[in-house]
Structure 1
């Protein structure tokens, strides 16, 4: 079968585990050259080696994408290896569950920097390459929290993910004339390491029984949706926020 992303270059942030790892793996299997980013260098290297063993072409870059200078270095390394970037998946994220009355300024700023500022910095750095290359695809990972309120996270998490949706819509409108499509994915409860660490098994079971589709989503299901948005199959879609939550939130 023809690979949907043959010859494309895809940068995925927060790719050492969970959704980011499966997104990178699937995009590689569909022919993309992969740039994987994360703060966890050891896990990132192991994830990249898995892709290589599967026949994919990949480099990995340890960087804090909430820091401008580290994003610049990451983009330099990516474009030195592959010349351009055609697809950007802003997946890096941080979950904190602190009640609003207990949130300190430092924690608020940290969540905003990782969940929102990183999207701004990475997108701003990549867009010139997409313009020069005649177009591109940007997929921002928001959350059902961004469309309602968070199940597990605090007010800062909900706020950051809602802001990602606003940024997605504005960029979609502003960049459409440059043939750059910008969309957001809004996962509900997905079976990731972060969810399992945050939520005890009995609480997960209670959530599952409350969903119309009575289970957690899988990282592969999220990756399949990202692949659709990264490919030409979604060429007439921009500014969208697509839910993947088992029917938990119906808007």
Structure 2
């Protein structure tokens, strides 16, 4: 049987770890050529090297998703290396916490710049390539915070992830006639290196606790990144051909009540 992503060329942000790395591995295993991009180039290199060692096709590129020039260079480099693009998955993100009246403006702006602008810029740069290819699929990574308030201590994160969902819906509406689908994956609590990566790139943070979210999750556990990558691979594939503008909650039932 032909792998369901055979011949596809997928651009992945935040591909150096967590959900992004799992998406890159899964897409490559399903037959896609993958551009693994990250602001931590060494992490992207390691993921791409592991994919190639397993027989897949991958290229690693530096990409600061909040910088338009960096994003444009990464997308153009990926399109050159992979001879075009058919899809994009925006996994890069950070966490910031603090009650609204206590939150520093710098933290608010950073969360929106990385999580929301950092979704907009890769879409802006990849969509022309998808148009040239005659269509494609975009998967943004939002959060349960795209649907409900994640907790009472994350206004910047909640606002940024709510924006990701609305941006995704706008893209879905704007490009449907061109054969481009856009859907938003909304994970619950996932075991990733998000907090550690945020500290590495952006300094000390107040890390939100996940204990309450896990207690409120009917499955009573965190997900692993590979569970999210399974959903993303489906959304990238023709099996999801009639899905666009959707918010897909992969949250262990967290938003079911």
Alpha-carbon distance between aligned partners in 2 of 1:207 and 1:237, rounded to the nearest angstrom: 28
Structure 2 partner of 1:174: 174
After TM superposition, the structure 1 stretch with the greater mean CA deviation from structure 2, 206-215 or 99-108, is 206-215
Which of structure 1's runs of 4+ aligned residues deviate more than 4 A?
none
Report the Cα offset of residue 115 of structure 1.
0.4
- Normalising by the residue count of structure 2, what TM-score does the alignment of the two structures yield? 0.91
Alignment of structure 1 residues 42-121 onto 2, 5 Å: 42-121=42-121
Q: Which residue among 195, 214, 223 is the counterpart of 1:217?
A: 223
Contact between 2:97 and 2:103, CA under 8 Å: does it hold in 1? no
Alpha-carbon distance between aligned partners in 2 of 1:134 and 1:188, rounded to the nearest angstrom: 33
Alpha-carbon distance between aligned partners in 1 of 2:250 and 2:184, rounded to the nearest angstrom: 11
Alpha-carbon distance between aligned partners in 1 of 2:37 and 2:103, rounded to the nearest angstrom: 28
Structure 1 partner of 2:131: 131
Contact between 1:23 and 1:226, CA under 8 Å: does it hold in 2? yes
Report the Cα offset of residue 151 of structure 1.
3.7
Alpha-carbon distance between aligned partners in 1 of 2:89 and 2:107, rounded to the nearest angstrom: 24
Q: Which ranges of structure 2 fall in alignment gaps of 5 or more residues?
A: 198-206
Report the Cα offset of residue 129 of structure 1.
1.0
Contact between 2:217 and 2:253, CA under 8 Å: does it hold in 1? yes
Alpha-carbon distance between aligned partners in 2 of 1:152 and 1:216, rounded to the nearest angstrom: 20
Report the Cα offset of residue 222 of structure 1.
0.4
Evaluate the alpha carbon distance shift between residue 152 and residue 42 of structure 1 in structure 2; reply closer, same or farther with a 3 A threshold.
Answer: farther
1:54-102 superposed Cα distances (whole Å, 9 cap, x missing partner): 1111101112011111011111211111221101001110111122222
Q: Which ranges of structure 1 fall in alignment gaps of 5 or more residues?
A: none
Alignment RMSD (CA, Å) = 1.7
- Normalising by the residue count of structure 1, what TM-score does the alignment of the two structures yield? 0.94
1:14-63 superposed Cα distances (whole Å, 9 cap, x missing partner): 01111100000000000000101111122221111111111111101112
Q: Which residue among 216, 234, 240 is the counterpart of 1:234?
A: 240
Report the Cα offset of residue 199 of structure 1.
5.8
Structure 2 partner of 1:248: 254
